[in-house]
């Protein structure tokens, strides 16, 4: 049975209010008896890969479980999510869901081959990170207001880079332009195969600006190669305390955040989902794990499965509003 979005949110709210029930020993008696895999729907080395590895490493050290991370990149995370959707619901497969797979993709992809609400069971929100609007140091722009004025004065001339069409970096720029009443094509979008190439293009002057996760560009900001104008989170980053949020400078409610979480195939036994939520929360509270996550310029989250379900439902709703306003959709 497929739930309407309203029913889904009602269930999430009810779960938050529900009392903690005794653990069902039968579902956890011998769990785990074999290796557990965490499917990561991206290539190795980025935050979406490293953060779940930190949790897996902690779990292996603390409990002796064998947890293998399996990278299954492709199609903005769809390949990995499908692999998890098709896996047995026995507690031996988890998957990393992201701001793409359970945020922007459900809003812009009209042929998404999975149901974000029903095909996976939410476990926990692991971490989230802000994005930052950047220009080169040589650019005669010191604020978002000045950048918008330059864009208005030269329609179709300025270029911005991203890691791909409808990526968080692309959509963050689209949202900024939409909030100014400007069409997406007033600037030229130059998508690259990956974020390193997109950042290199900005450094080389091949594009004029970009919005990107703070962790990947912080060294360039600190060296003065790039100038940060605003960040996309609702509050300032403790690691970039002098950079204002978009909300502070006249964009109330503006928010685009990169995030990653854990989920499992639908119908995974609830006691196992609860156990993983508890273990992941414990890992995220560990000082060593927190330090490693924060070194990526991400903020540790955690919490209940229900709070995560409500969180990504809200993210999808915000992206759907942007999709309706701009007419953008999966190509």
For residues 205-228, one letter each, b for 16 or more C-beta atoms within 10 angstroms of the residue's C-beta and e for the rest, the string is eebbbbbbbbbbbbebbeeeebbb
* Among 286, 287, 225, 233, residue whose Cα is nearest residue 258: 233
- Please report where in the chains the tokens 């119908």 appear, as a residue: 267
**Residue extents of the structural domains in the chain:** 5-128+258-326, 130-249
At residue 300, φ and ψ (nearest 5 deg) are -70, 140
pTM of the model: 0.86
Q: Which helix (H) or strand (E) holds 327?
A: none
Do residues 178 and 251 make contact, with C-beta atoms less than 8 angstroms apart? no
CATH homologous superfamily for the domain 5-128+258-326: Bordetella uptake gene, domain 1 (3.40.190.150)
Q: What is the mean pLDDT of each run of 10 residues along the chain (331 residues)?
A: 45 43 56 97 91 97 96 92 97 97 95 96 97 94 96 97 92 96 96 89 96 90 96 91 95 94 98 98 98 94 98 96 92 71
Task: Report the C-alpha gap between 226 and 202 in whole angstroms.
Answer: 9
Q: Is 29 exposed, middle or buried (0-12, 13-18, 19+ CB in 10 A)?
A: exposed
Q: Residue 98 forms beta bridges with which residues?
A: 260
Tell the residue number behind the tokens 């919490």, with chain if given: 303
69 contacts 109 by C-beta, under 8 angstroms = no
3-state secondary structure 92-149: CEEEEEECHHHHHHHHHCCCCCCCCCCCEEEEEEEEEEEEEEEEECCCCCCCHHHHHH
Tokens 């722009």, residue located: 141
Alpha-carbon dihedral sign for residues 224, 229, 231, 237 = positive
Rounded Cα–Cα distance for residues 161 and 159 (Å): 7
Are 314 and 117 within 8 A, CB to CB?
no
* Cα 18 to Cα 279: distance, rounded to the nearest angstrom: 20
Q: Is the fold of 5-128+258-326 the same as that of 130-249? A: yes
Q: Give the separation between CA 232 and CA 254, rounded to whole angstroms.
A: 7
Report the pLDDT value the prediction gives residue 106, as an integer from 0 to 100.
96
Considering the domain delimited by 130-249, tell me its CATH architecture.
3-Layer(aba) Sandwich (3.40)
Phi, psi of 58, deg, nearest 5: -60, -45
pLDDT at 182: 96
């Amino acid at each position: 049975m497929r739930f309407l979005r309203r029913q889904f949110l009602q269930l999430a709210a009810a779960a938050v209010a529900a009392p903690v029930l005794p653990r069902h020993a039968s579902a956890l008696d011998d769990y785990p008896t074999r290796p557990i895999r965490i499917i990561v729907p991206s290539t190795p080395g980025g935050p979406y890969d490293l953060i779940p590895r930190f949790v897996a490493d902690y779990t292996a050290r603390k409990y002796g479980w064998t947890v293998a991370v399996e990278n299954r990149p492709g199609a903005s995370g769809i390949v990995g999510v499908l692999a998890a959707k098709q896996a047995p619901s026995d507690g031996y497969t988890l998957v990393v869901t992201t701001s793409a797979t359970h945020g922007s993709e459900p809003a812009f992809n009209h042929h998404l081959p999975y149901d974000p609400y029903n095909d996976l069971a939410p476990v926990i929100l692991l971490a989230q990170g802000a994005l930052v609007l950047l220009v080169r140091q040589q650019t005669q722009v010191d604020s978002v207001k000045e950048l918008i004025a330059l864009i208005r004065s030269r329609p179709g001339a300025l270029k911005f880079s991203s890691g791909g069409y409808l990526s968080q970096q692309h959509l963050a720029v689209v949202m900024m332009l939409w909030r100014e009443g400007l069409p997406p094509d007033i600037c030229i979008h130059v998508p690259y195969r990956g974020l390193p190439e997109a950042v290199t293009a900005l450094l080389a002057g091949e594009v004029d600006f970009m919005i990107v996760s703070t962790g990947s560009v912080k060294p360039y900001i600190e060296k003065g190669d790039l100038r940060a104008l605003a960040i996309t989170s609702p509050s300032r980053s403790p690691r970039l305390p002098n950079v204002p949020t978009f909300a502070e400078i006249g964009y109330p409610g503006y928010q685009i955040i990169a995030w990653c979480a854990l989920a499992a195939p639908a119908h995974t036994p609830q006691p196992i989902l609860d156990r993983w939520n508890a273990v992941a929360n414990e890992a995220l509270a560990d000082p060593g794990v927190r330090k490693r996550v924060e070194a990526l310029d991400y903020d540790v989250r955690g919490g209940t499965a229900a709070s995560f379900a409500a969180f990504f439902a809200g993210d999808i709703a915000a992206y759907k509003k942007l999709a309706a306003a701009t007419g953008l959709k999966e190509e």
